[in-house]
Structure 1
Amino acid sequence: MKSAPISSLLAAILLAASPLRAEPTNLLQSVEAEIKTVLAKAGPSVVKVHAHRQIQIGDLPYAPAHRVGTGFFASADGVVLTAGTVIGDADTCWIEWQDEKLPARILGRCPRVNLAVIQAQKRDASFPALPLCGTPDLSVGSLVVALGFPYDLPLGPVVGFIQGVDIRRGDQIFPTSHIRANCKLNPGQGGGPLLNARGEVVGIVVAAHLNDQCYALPICAAKKVLADIRQTGQPQHPWVGLEVTERERVVEATATPFSRWQIYVREVMSNTPAARAGFQNQDQIIRLGTNQVQRLADVLDQIFLRRAGDRLEFTVLRNGVEHPVSLTVAARPPPPASGVAPRLVPVVSD
Structure 2
Amino acid sequence: MLRRRARRPSRGVGSGFIVDPKGVILTNYHVVENMTSIMVKLQLQSGEQLRGTVVGTDEETDVAVIKVNAGRDLPAVTLGDSDSVLVGDWVLAVGSPFGLEQTVTAGIISTKERQTDPGASFRRFIQTDAAINRGNSGGPLVNMRGEVIGINSQIATSTGDYNGIGFALPSNIASSVFKQLMTAGKVRRGYLGVFLDTVRPEFARVYEMPKASGAIIKDVADAQGPAAKAGIQTNDIIVEFNGQEVGNAQDLINKVASTPVGQTVQVTYLREINNKLERRAASITVGERPAPRTSAGVEEEDNSGKKGPIILSPRNSSANGSRPALGLTLSELTPQIANERNLKGVRGLFVKDVDQAGLAFDAGIEKYTVIERVNRQSVSTIEDFERIINALKPGDPVVMHVAAYKGDHVTQTIVQFTYQ
Same fold (TM > 0.5): yes
Displacement after TM superposition at 1:174 (Å): 2.7
Other-structure match for 2:53: 105
Larger relative contact order, structure 1 or 2 (CA cutoff 8 Å, min sep 6): 1
- Alpha-carbon contact 2:19-2:76 (below 8 Å) kept: yes
Displacement after TM superposition at 1:279 (Å): 1.9
Other-structure match for 1:214: 166
> Counterparts in 2 of 1:42-121, with a 5 A limit?
61-97=6-42, 98=44, 99-121=47-69
- Alpha-carbon contact 1:206-1:217 (below 8 Å) kept: yes
Map Cα deviations across residues 251-306 of structure 1 (whole Å, 9 max, x no partner).
99xxxxxx555531111231001112232222222233344322333122233334
Distance 2:144 2:265 in 1: 35
**Which consecutive residues of structure 1, in runs of 5 or more, have no partner in the other structure?**
1-58, 253-258, 341-350
1:327 aligns with 2:284: yes
Distance 1:162 1:105 in 2: 33
Distance 2:282 2:85 in 1: 30
Distance 2:60 2:178 in 1: 13
Structure 1 vs Structure 2 CA RMSD: 2.9
Other-structure match for 1:281: 234
Other-structure match for 1:202: 149
- Alpha-carbon contact 1:243-1:266 (below 8 Å) kept: yes
Distance 1:250 1:177, change over 3 A: same
Displacement after TM superposition at 1:241 (Å): 0.5
Distance 1:62 1:285 in 2: 54
Amino acid at match of 2:178: L
Percent identity among equivalent residues? 26
**Which consecutive residues of structure 2, in runs of 5 or more, have no partner in the other structure?**
158-162, 205-210, 298-420
> Counterparts in 2 of 1:1-350, with a 5 A limit?
61-97=6-42, 98=44, 99-123=47-71, 125-134=72-81, 136-166=83-113, 168-169=115-116, 171-210=118-157, 211-250=163-202, 260=212, 262-269=214-221, 270-319=223-272, 320-336=277-293, 338=295
Map Cα deviations across residues 149-183 of structure 1 (whole Å, 9 max, x no partner).
22111323333333333364364443342322233
Distance 2:212 2:294 in 1: 38
- Alpha-carbon contact 2:241-2:265 (below 8 Å) kept: yes
More helix by share: 1
Distance 1:75 1:146 in 2: 20
- Alpha-carbon contact 1:177-1:297 (below 8 Å) kept: no
**Paired positions, count:** 276
More strand by share: 1
Give the secondary structure class of the aligned counterpart of 1:333: coil
Amino acid at match of 1:310: Q
Distance 1:241 1:176, change over 3 A: farther
Distance 1:251 1:142 in 2: 36
Q: TM-score, normalised by structure 1?
A: 0.70
Distance 1:164 1:135, change over 3 A: closer
